[in-house]
């Protein structure tokens, strides 16, 4: 790390823009965490690019003293792919919300994940459309009452981490807006990961969906409603650390069990962040029957789109097949009738 980079502080990553989120919005906490994380990554500000779509979370690039695009609704993954391909030296970040990322931009999200484009994708999941005044979103729980679902939403919600795994994501994690240390660590690991790192952040919208994640965030209650995954460790949770997750080998389903009596830690599932089948089951867990899993759910080393494109270009160049002149003089490709 050169001296100039070593002296960077969180303030160097903050802009002079007035932050325009509602008081108490979870986005503030996420912004602070990322501004604090940035100087520790050992990279100059000029190497960082934040790309967003449209929505409350998508105001993020205004507040980062880095390069950034506040782009088109749902299209941040596409623009970010172009940025990374044009200059692989840049660290590229996508900031998106549940509506922007999984409704308007659902299609684009799938492709950036399956291509494994090397970038960090931060999905602020508040389970509501905040900017447009509180309509239910693709991740809103069934029964959610909103201006666009006054009788309660009938839709089955998407679970972002489950969709990301299904699309072939090579790094999938989940964290919570106000848990700075936890959030910082899963983002740091995502940053070190080669490929598309998808990080779902449970984010409170105090205006239109306040307390939506109260159980998983509440200091006293959270022990019973969330489980913190650690690679290689048995999956234990509960305020008294007296519950765990095990795999029923008869029907291959997860089960919540109480420790004690016949059941010991040795009976519990051990988290293996390289096991995709297990990751799919863990990421789908939700209340009231199961705790919500947070932490690094899945990680896989596999080749990424950016490197593959570079290799292909090099092969074409070294094979002598790349000639603009030859292309331009290759004759007609169509015949006028």
Binding interface with ligand SF4 (CB under 6 A): 21-22, 25, 27, 56, 126, 130-131, 205-208
Tokens of 19: 């932050």
Q: In angstroms, what is the minimal distance from the CB of 223 to ligand SF4?
A: 27
Angstrom distance (rounded) from CA 319 to CA 311: 12
Looking at the DSSP bridge assignments, the partners of residue 169 are none
Query: Residues 6 or more apart from 295 whose CB is under 8 A from it?
Result: 173, 174, 175, 182, 186, 228, 229, 230, 271
Question: Residue 66 phi/psi, 5° resolution?
Answer: -140, -175
Q: In angstroms, what is the minimal distance from the CB of 77 to ligand SF4?
A: 20
CB environment 36-53: b (16+ within 10 A), e (fewer): ebbbebebeeeebbbbbb
Length, in residues, of the chain: 337
Which of residues 202 and 254 has its CB atom nearest to ligand SF4 in the complex? 202
In a 13 Å sphere around the CA of 40, the CA atoms on its Cβ side amount to 12
Q: In angstroms, what is the minimal distance from the CB of 252 to ligand SF4?
A: 38
Angstrom distance (rounded) from CA 337 to CA 199: 54
DSSP assignment of 102-165 equals: IIITHHHHHHHHHHT-SEEEEEEE-SSBTTTTSB--TTSPTT--BTTBTT---SPPP-HHHHHH
Q: In angstroms, what is the minimal distance from the CB of 210 to ligand SF4?
A: 8
Q: In angstroms, what is the minimal distance from the CB of 25 to ligand SF4?
A: 3
Judge whether 258 and 282 are in contact, CB under 8 Å. Answer: no
Q: In angstroms, what is the minimal distance from the CB of 148 to ligand SF4?
A: 15
Q: In angstroms, what is the minimal distance from the CB of 133 to ligand SF4?
A: 8
Which of residues 74 and 130 has its CB atom nearest to ligand SF4 in the complex? 130
For residue 99, count CB atoms less than 10 angstroms from its CB and return exposed for 0-12, middle for 13-18, buried for 19 or more. buried
Angstrom distance (rounded) from CA 107 to CA 80: 14
Angle between helices 26-37 and 180-192 (to 10 degrees): 50
Q: In angstroms, what is the minimal distance from the CB of 257 to ligand SF4?
A: 37
Task: Give the Cβ contact number of residue 319 at 10 Å.
Answer: 8
Which of residues 207 and 256 has its CB atom nearest to ligand SF4 in the complex? 207
């Amino acid at each position: 790390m050169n001296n100039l980079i070593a002296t960077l502080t969180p303030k160097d990553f903050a802009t002079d823009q007035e932050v325009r989120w509602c008081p108490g919005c979870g986005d503030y906490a996420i912004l602070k965490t990322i501004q604090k994380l940035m100087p520790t990554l050992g990279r100059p500000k000029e190497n960082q690019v934040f790309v967003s779509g449209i929505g409350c979370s998508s105001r993020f690039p205004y507040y980062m003293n880095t390069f950034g695009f506040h782009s088109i609704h749902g299209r941040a993954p596409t623009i970010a792919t172009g940025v990374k391909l044009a200059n692989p030296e840049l660290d590229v970040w996508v900031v998106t919300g549940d509506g922007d990322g999984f409704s308007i931009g659902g299609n684009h999200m799938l492709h950036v994940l399956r291509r494994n484009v090397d970038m960090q994708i931060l999905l602020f999941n508040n389970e509501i459309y905040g900017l447009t005044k509180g309509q239910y979103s693709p991740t809103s729980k069934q029964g959610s009452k909103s201006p666009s679902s006054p009788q309660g939403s009938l839709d089955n919600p998407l679970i972002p981490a489950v969709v990301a795994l299904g699309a072939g994501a090579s790094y999938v994690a989940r964290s919570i807006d106000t848990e700075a240390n936890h959030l910082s660590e899963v983002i740091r690991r995502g940053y070190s990961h080669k490929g598309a790192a998808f990080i779902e952040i449970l984010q409170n919208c105090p205006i239109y969906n306040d307390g939506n994640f109260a159980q998983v965030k509440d200091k006293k209650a959270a022990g019973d409603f969330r489980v913190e995954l650690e690679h290689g460790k048995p999956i234990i949770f509960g305020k008294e650390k007296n519950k765990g997750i095990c795999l029923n080998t008869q029907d291959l389903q997860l089960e919540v069990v109480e420790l004690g009596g016949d059941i010991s830690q040795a009976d519990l599932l051990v988290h293996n962040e390289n096991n995709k089948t297990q990751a799919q089951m863990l990421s789908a867990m939700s209340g009231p029957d199961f705790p919500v899993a947070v932490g690094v759910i899945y990680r896989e080393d596999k080749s990424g789109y950016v490197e593959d494109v570079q290799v292909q270009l090099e092969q074409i160049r070294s094979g002598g097949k790349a000639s603009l002149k030859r292309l331009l003089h290759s004759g007609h490709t169509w015949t006028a009738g």
